[in-house]
Amino acid sequence: MDVATRLRDEGYRMTPQRQLVWDVLRQADSHLTAEEIHDRVTERVADVNLASIYRTLALLDDLDLVKEVRLGDDRGRWELAHPDDTFHLVCRDCGQVTHHEGDLVEQVRAHLLGGHGFAAEEVDLVVHGLCERCR
């Protein structure tokens, strides 16, 4: 995905700070807090403040380019946006987070609409348990 084109199409510029945040998230091998993103950004450019990171994340979230997830520790963690039929499996021992794709989220949506008249706009499914290695 060309984030610079998407930003321009929406009337925003691709600033160096936005590019750095995007690069960190694209290269991340885990879900990162804003503070962890800030730490990785300032390894490359020292004078980027945490408020700029939060503003950039909010903008990228508004454009559906990234998303914040809550994985059970009350800390928001960020990742590149993905369809919400992908859900998170969180190992309670080692902390590994993996994505799982399937039709479960669509089943939840259909159940909520048909059984409760509730139209889910976004589903963020997080499942806690033990991964295969820790089990």
Domain at 86-129: CATH architecture: 2-Layer Sandwich (3.30)
pLDDT score for 121 = 87
* Rounded Cα–Cα distance for residues 110 and 106 (Å): 6
Question: Would you kindly state where each structural domain of the chain is located, as residue ranges?
Answer: 3-80, 86-129
Comparing CA positions, the residue from 78, 77, 68 lying closest to residue 26 is 78
Confidence check: pLDDT of 103 > 90: no
Token pair 């706009």: residue: 121
For 3-80, give the CATH class.
mainly alpha
pLDDT digits (tens, 9 = 90+) for 50-91: 999 999 999 999 999 999 988 877 789 999 988 777 788 999
* CA angle at 69 for the pair 76 and 83, rounded to the nearest 5°: 155
pLDDT (tens digit, 9 = 90+) per residue, 41-52?
A: 999 999 999 999
